[in-house]
Amino acid sequence: MKKKALEIKLQRLQGFTNPKANLEQYLTPANIAAEILFFAHQMGDIEGKIIADMGSGPGIFSIGACYFNPAKIYAVEIDGDAIEDLKRNIASVRCEKIEIVSEDVKNFRVPVDTIFQNTPFGAQVRHNDLPFLETALRISKVIYTLHNWETRDFLMGKIRELGGRITHVREFQFQIPRIYKFHTKERVTRKFVFFRIEKDGDKLK
């Protein structure tokens, strides 16, 4: 699968039909999800691996990962409406490796090889992304994670404190549509920091 072909497939997925501001529900754009997934594939972090897509929403990372022959994918999501969107998307691509887990990420305790997550940006509740990071560093050997750019220094310290090793850092920018009343412009551009993190498998708790 070429990166552009993956992007086109991901563009066809349905988004949130009932987005909720308190859960910071916005989508990772298809080109950025394809970029991250393709990179993870090249790093050997998808094929034959157990994956978790934390805060999966309609499932762009779960479904994208499906094209690279993983052993299994857990799509963990707290919101029932988003899970309905996810189910429709899974049905449209017929990926049988995805298991939907309807719960708060902080209660998910299954050991996995690789995590993908676009965490809540923290615009509603500061450091809303920390439960995602803490859980990921507890259960996964490798983590691909997106966060609010402004908090990168704090996050780097936190990742080290939690026993993670950052192998790659990158900046991404993307627009978030005006889906919430408090946004005054049609679209707002936000800057994100992306980390690839490794954790020694023996230290998973």
Ligand X SMILES: C[S@@+](CC[C@H](N)C(=O)[O-])C[C@H]1O[C@@H](n2cnc3c(N)ncnc32)[C@H](O)[C@@H]1O
Place of tokens 């990179």: 39
Identify the three-state secondary structure at position 204.
coil
Kindly tell me which residue out of 82, 112, 139, 197 binds ligand X, with binding defined by CB under 6 A.
Answer: 82
CB 115 within 8 A of CB 141: no
| Minimum CB–partner distance for residue 165 and ligand X (Å) | 24
CB 160 within 8 A of CB 120: no
| Window 6-35: residues binding ligand X (CB under 6 A) | 23-28
To ligand X, the closest distance from the beta carbon of 12 in angstroms equals 14
User: Would you say 33 or 142 has its CB closer to ligand X?
Assistant: 33
Q: Which of 89, 114, 118, 148 binds ligand X (CB under 6 A)?
A: 118
| Gap between the Cα atoms of 31 and 34, Å rounded | 5
Q: Which of 35, 77, 113, 129 binds ligand X (CB under 6 A)?
A: 77
Pairwise CA distance, residues 60 & 122, whole Å: 21
**Shortest distance in whole angstroms from residue 119 CB to ligand X:** 7
**Segment near ligand X (CB under 6 A); pick from 40-48, 49-57, 153-161, 191-199:** 49-57
85-104: contacts with ligand X (CB under 6 A): 104
Task: Pick out residues in 156-195 that bind ligand X (CB under 6 A).
Answer: none
Contacts of 153 (CB under 8 A, 6+ apart): none
Sign, CA dihedral 8-79-98-138, equals positive
Residue type, 150: E
Write the single-letter amino acid at 144: Y
Residues that bind ligand X (CB under 6 A): 23-28, 55-57, 60-61, 76-79, 82, 104-105, 118, 120, 131
